Amino acid sequence: MIVAENLTKRYGSTTAVDDVSFTVRPGQVTGFLGPNGAGKSTTMRMIVGLDAPSAGRVSVGGHRYTQSRSPLTEVGVLLDAKAVHTGRSARVHLRAMAATHGIANTRVDEVIALTGLEAVAGKRAGKFSLGMGQRLGIAAALLGDPQTLILDEPVNGLDPEGVRWVRQLVRHLAGEGRTVLLSSHLMSEMSQTADHVIVLGRGRVIADAPLPDLVRAWTRNEVLVRTPRASDLAGALGSPDVTVTDAGDGGLLVAGVSARAIGDLAAERGIPLHELTPRTGSLEEAYMALTEGAVQYKTKEIA
Ligand SMILES: Nc1ncnc2c1ncn2[C@@H]1O[C@H](COP(=O)(O)OP(=O)(O)OP(=O)(O)O)[C@@H](O)[C@H]1O
């Protein structure tokens, strides 16, 4: 369990993390989301003691990470995959890490196999591609078989097979009862991976909820309807709670009423339906709505 209480980090006049409190629970994958510069990495660095909070506190497994006698076996961390780039081979790098914690070389071989690095384990890690470096960072995080995993953008640079592997891995680890905190900007990936999400915006927590609840709260369910009598159906649906918009190509997007109710109404009025498709909102839509006012680096809308 990770517990942050009123965590704050200031760099000069910039407040990178502003009075942030949250709990990351075991047995589930918690996604850590937010626009660029929202404070995710800074928060993660404070969790593992790489940055000292300006105010507040954070504990992992009931105590401060820096007070841990055996950090590698308690918390697996992937913060900056580039930080592992080294003149040593991947295997030697992992063995050196393992030696500091009395971890056997057989475990090094295990994590090399688990992360698909066997073919390149003898090569200099400094020559690794982005994806290989990322796999090595994940191997290092798993080395001590830790109860808690903190992974900052673990799928960055991975190929589709690697992305899927990370998803399956973290779901498996959470299924074993571990605590997993994972950041990513890839919303479709996050929606398949996380059970719970914490969203930061300009250094503050702007959402902390189970993923399905967040999507439900910040998106609206719509129904795509196609009928040759669109204006008749739109008229029949007319009510202050229902919005009907033209979806083009003879289609209507209807919000505020279920697909079943639309189907029943159409049948009652003898209006033929050619399509009736419920559309549930996505995490990406929810995220965009939620962070609209918290995006620091806005891009120009492409017409
Ligand atoms: N060492 C530092 N010195 C000064 N400012 C910093 C430092 N580290 C981070 N910041 C600032 O703190 C804010 C939060 O940055 P942080 O890297 O934590 O955001 P993030 O959510 O991880 O962003 P990204 O998604 O781009 O990785 C930013 O405004 C950043 O410029």
Digit-coded pLDDT (tens) for 250-296: 799 999 999 999 999 999 999 999 999 998 889 999 999 999 876 66
Q: Considering the entire predicted model, what is its pTM? A: 0.86
Average confidence score pLDDT of the chain: 91
pLDDT band at 157 (very low <50, low <70, confident <90, very high): confident
pLDDT in tens, 98-152: 998 899 999 999 999 999 898 888 888 888 888 888 899 999 999 999 999 999 9
pLDDT of residue 301: 60
Residue 101, both tokens: 């914690």
Q: Where are the beta strands (DSSP E) in 12-98?
A: 14-24, 28-33, 55-60, 75-78
Which atom from ligand 1 is nearest to the alpha carbon of 41? 22
How many Å lie between the centroid of ligand 1 and the Cα of residue 256? 40
- Each residue's pLDDT tens digit, 222-238: 999 999 999 999 999 98
What angle, 0 to 180 degrees and rounded to 10, lies between the N-to-C axes of helices 283-291 and 211-218?
A: 60
The H or E element spanning position 200 is: strand 196-201
Mean pLDDT of 66-70: 79
Beta carbon of 37 within 6 Å of any ligand 1 atom:
yes
User: Per the structure block, which two tokens stand in for 39?
Assistant: 């404070």
ipTM comes to 0.96
Q: For residue 137, how far is its CA from the centre of ligand 1 (angstroms)?
A: 21
Q: Is 190 in the pocket of ligand 1 (CB under 6 A)?
A: no
Nearest CA to ligand 1 atom 7: 11
| Ligand 1 centroid – CA 2 distance (Å) | 21
All structural domains of the chain, each given as residue ranges with its CATH number in brackets, are 2-210 (3.40.50.300), 220-279 (3.30.70)
Taking residues 181-186, report their average pLDDT.
94
With b for 16 or more beta-carbon neighbours within 10 A and e for fewer, the 65-83 pattern comes to: beebeebbbbbbbbbebee
Atom 30 in ligand 1: residue holding the nearest Cα? 37
The whole-number average pLDDT for the span 67-75 is 83
* Ligand 1 touching residue 42 (CB < 6 A): yes
Q: Is 156 in the pocket of ligand 1 (CB under 6 A)?
A: no
> Residue with the nearest Cα to atom 24 of ligand 1?
36
